[in-house]
Structure 1
Amino acid sequence: MNETLNVLETRRSVRGFDPERMPSDELIEQVVRAGEYAPTGRGMQSPRMVVVTNKAVRDKLSQLNAEVMGVESDPFYGAPVIILVLADRARPTYI
């Protein structure tokens, strides 16, 4: 079977994390690298990714995100690492 189709068909969503179990740096780098190859509008590759592993910063971002969403729960489901994807608003494809 085509490996890409197999990955797509067997993927799963995770909505619960062990906040004490930090993924390896190698795994984080692989996820960021995969994101670098994700399609972008007009092939402009404008997004920048910021990996946040500091718990205090992660918790503050979670709180701010929850406020914007109008919820009290953790929008990151307790994940010990979050990756912020930033885009240049000057590009017409930033949304």
Structure 2
Amino acid sequence: MNERTPSRYGVIKEIKGTITALDLAILDANSKGIDKGTFTDNELEKYIKYLEKISNFPVNTPMATTWLYKSISQINELRVHKVFLIGIAEEFKIEHFGFEVN
């Protein structure tokens, strides 16, 4: 399997057109080197939740995602949260991201 390096953070961007949970699942599988033709409703649920969460934030908002393991229920929960870039000069943010960060 193709191991990926996790990112520290990303930025909310607006795309042309739309992306569905299935589109995102296929992109994710392909990026892992997995040739997966079908996805169950249960597998697509995490992509639906992810898209719902990120759609609530304005464009150019720095974000991060982390997995929270709940030991009692033994479930991994995807957490999507805003990242506060404290102590970083505005010039660095503009240079690093290519635009002003909200």
TM-score, normalised with respect to structure 1: 0.29
Structure with the largest fraction of helix:
1
TM-score, normalised with respect to structure 2: 0.27
The structure with higher relative contact order (CA 8 Å, sep 6+) is 1
Structure with the largest fraction of strand:
2
